[in-house]
Amino acid sequence: MSVADLAAAPADDTNPLLLPWPAPYGLPPFASLRPEHFEPALRAGMRRHRAELAWLAQQDEAPSFDNTVAAFDRSGQLLDRVASVFYNLTSSATSPALQAVQRTMAAPMAAHSSAVYMDAGLFARVDTVHARRHELGLAPEALRLTERVHLDFVRSGARLPAEAQARYAQVMQDLAGLTTRFAQNVLHDESHWQLPLADEPALSGLPDFVRAAARQAAAERGLPGHVITLSRSLVVPFLSFSTRRDLRELAWRAWVGRGENPGEHDNREVARDILRLRNEQARLHGHACYADFALADTMAGTRAAVQGLLGEVWPRALAAVERERQALLALAPAGAEAALEPWDWRFHAERLRRERFAIDDAEVKPYFPLDRMVQAAFDCAGRLFGLQFRPRDDLPVYHPDVKAFEVRNAQGAVIGIFLQDNFARPGKRSGAWMSALRWQTRNVEAGAPASLPVILNNNNFARGEAAAAGQGGAPTLLSLDDARTLFHEFGHGLHGLLSDVTYRRLSGTQVLRDFVELPSQIFEHWITQPEVLQRHARHWQTGEPIPADLVARLQRAQRFNQGYETVRYTASAMADMAVHSLTDAEPPADLCRFEADLLQAAGLPAAVGQNHRLVHFQHLFAGSSYAAGYYVYLWAEVLDADGFDAFTEAGSAFDPEVAQRLLRHIYASGNSVAPAAAYAAFRGRAPTVQPLLKKRGLLAEEAA
């Protein structure tokens, strides 16, 4: 029996996950899926994957790139398709039943991964091809795949002694259970807390769009009146506009206290357990701390390189935030509020922004209805890369909020499917992210068509009343920051959709962690281009384009409050690096105290705070992708600020030659080329940090 035979073997089951998916483009049969389908389907996928790999490892032919490395890249398709659906649902539309399956399957899925990458026979074949890779006349992409797959094995424990391998596998299973628990605890705190605004005094200061979002949040929860939740798209406007300082404090304390509530959902010990196991994981690989292990496979490479970047930005950001603090204090009324607590900053900053730039979100947001901003993103992708997004209401989706689009290139050929899920709701984790139900690849069995990508964007915007079926009122209106988030995630989506590589392992966003944010962050630049705003930012009631004067004011205000935003981000990145740089096997007994002492010593102003505290820092503890890696947004911002300057230098944000270089070397190349080489091919040189400092207003002469 061949690998192809194994992959084609019919599933002896009526489980819809294991039967053929007849929907267009092989989309999942979402309407037929139930929580009880996933455990048997995942276990069946693991069994088939192991059978495929056992055949691969035991074949008689000598190891070659085609029969070993390329075959490994093709393996596990059933498991991948089931797992991709499962993990998307547990993030975007979960339930207690799905969460129970997630807890049950966390350890077995981790054990399966360890069994694959610690398979001695399989690794021996991969190792043989890797040792001879420069003698085999491999194409550049095949050489890159060989090196990446080999490194995947090594970093998963393939070279550890047998006893260490057994312990390593147990560590990974334990970590899988703990990171699942961490994420579910945060979701519990976010979904269960709510602040009812029972009367007009409680609504004091809130503009119509915040009131409408709070009214809709209450309706979704079956409550009367208005409710503030811990969705960022609702709590941040509340902190910015509410004149009720006491209620702002309640909301702020609940927001920053996620994961720190005593009881079943307390993350303090969960995070300590994760850190303890990560330290052991690193030491099994011969590293002094987890940060050293994690950074070994990044562009940065070392803690020193990361600290160098953070050290370049931190003092400049502190100086900028002090200038901002003084400006806010001058505006604050005498008395209690003059102390400027963390729940005051956004409120006074919004007042200062109105005074300094004559900008008010109540004036801005009517020009940023969600549907128009989606079309703006599509239009920019069309003008840059020739893409067309065609709605497909007939395609299956997992929730009524999800919109499906067929994506075609300039020649009219379908290159992928794009699913967009924009609204916050119970059962959906916070934040914004891109994921894939299927990656682009041409490495398929003989006679099979190339695999088209199916890419998802998730956002958490506060739903406007018109977005709720059967209700009138305003549509979903975005702030400029919300629109940036939409463009950011769409940039990730384009990275998946435009991927043009041969091998699945190198496809789309599967690049080094401190390179993955470049395609998303550089795409943010287009939402603030005057010609994009003039074309797409139109008043939801009148259809009138955004006034040129308002665009000019928005441009002047771009660097406003950037000291605050930069300090908050960098503080979280510093805490991440510090806690993952600890060399002691036992983490600090009081993680919250460790974090507070660290940032106080670094000079973090008490009124500023940080983006994420460790106890709810899902980037770090709901998985390992950003552990010792939160710095990557700043690292990539060096690249995106420098990279967008290529369009500025060309004289147009849509210069076709620069756009083609961006497409070819950044969006389409996936991980088929080393990141530094890919960037240099696009830009013609290595990046410099000055455009970043200018963009954030961290040069004294550029400060707003």
Q: What is the DSSP string of 466-496?
A: GGSTT--S---B--HHHHHHHHHHHHHHHHH
Give the DSSP H/E element, type plus range, for residue 396.
Answer: none
**Secondary structure E strands in 445-507:** 454-461
- Which residues, in sequence order, are bridge partners of residue 420? 403, 457
CATH class of 365-552: mainly alpha
Cβ atoms of 48 and 74 within 8 Å: the answer is: no
d(CA 243, CA 245): 6
**Would you please indicate which residues are annotated as catalytic (active-site) residues?**
489
Q: How far apart are the C-alpha atoms of 570 and 316, rounded to whole Å?
A: 11
**pLDDT of amino acid 361:** 84
Q: Where are the beta strands (DSSP E) in 306-432?
A: 388-391, 403-408, 414-423
Between CA 202 and CA 464 the distance in angstroms is 20
Indicate the residue type of 625.
S
CA separation, residue 49 to residues 33, 46, 78, 79, 109 (Å): 22, 5, 8, 7, 12
Radius of gyration of the chain (CA): 25
pTM: 0.94
Q: 3-class DSSP state for residue 465? A: helix
Cα separations in angstroms, 703 against 72, 314, 323, 696: 52, 15, 9, 8
List the structure tokens of 363. 């004036």
Token pair, residue 703, equals 């400060």
- Parallel, antiparallel, or unpaired for β 454-461 and 414-423? parallel
Identify whether the C-beta of residue 339 lies closer than 8 Å to the C-beta of residue 449: no
- Can you spell out the DSSP letters for 60-87? SSPP-IIIIIIHHHH--HHHHHHHHHHH
CA dist 153 and 165 (Å) reads 12
- Domain parsing of the chain, residue ranges: 3-159, 193-256, 287-361+560-702, 365-552
CB neighbour list of residue 521: distance below 8 Å, 6 or more residues apart: 488, 491, 633, 636, 637, 639, 640
Contacts of 234 (CB under 8 A, 6+ apart): 210, 213, 214, 217, 228, 424, 462
Q: How far is 618 from 622, CA to CA, in rounded Å?
A: 5
What is the spatial order of strands in the sheet that 388-391 belongs to?
388-391, 403-408, 414-423, 454-461, 433-438
CATH for 287-361+560-702 (3.90.1150.10, 1.10.1370.10, 1.20.1740.10, 3.40.50.300): 1.10.1370.10
- The candidate with the shortest Cα–Cα distance to 295, out of 674, 681, 624, 671, is 624
CA of residue 448 relative to chain centroid, distance: 32
Q: Of 395, 458, 439, which is closest to residue 92 (Cα–Cα)?
A: 458
User: Whole-angstrom Cα distance, residue 78 to residue 6?
Assistant: 11
366 to 97, 378, 457, 467, 555: CA distances (angstroms): 40, 20, 23, 15, 18
Task: Give the CA-trace dihedral at 559, 564, 565, 566, to 10 degrees.
Answer: 90
Q: DSSP H helical segments within 418-457, as ranges?
A: none
CA angle 117, 119, 122 (to 5 degrees): 95
Residue 5 pLDDT: 52
How far the first Cα of the chain sits from its last, in Å, is 68
Backbone angles phi and psi of 477, in degrees to 5: -110, 135
3-159 folds as Neurolysin; domain 3 (1.10.1370)
287-361+560-702 and 365-552 share one CATH topology? yes
The amino acid that residue 213 corresponds to is A
**Which portions of the chain are predicted below pLDDT 70?**
1-13, 333-338, 466-472, 700-704
Q: DSSP character for 414?
A: E
Other beta carbons within 10 Å of 34: 11
Instruction: Specify burial of residue 214 (Cβ count, 10 A radius: 0-12, 13-18, 19+).
Output: buried
Contacts of 34 (CB under 8 A, 6+ apart): none
Measured torsion, CA atoms of residues 641, 645, 648, 649, in degrees rounded to the nearest 10:
170
Strand 414-423 versus strand 433-438 pairing type: unpaired
Nearest to 303 by CA among 569, 629, 625, 621: 629
Burial of 356 (0-12, 13-18, 19+ CB in 10 A): middle
The total of other beta-carbon atoms located within 10 Å of residue 390's CB is 12
The two structure tokens encoding residue 219: 């309706």
Look up residue 559 and give its DSSP letter. Answer: T
Residues 422, 428: Cα–Cα separation, whole Å = 11
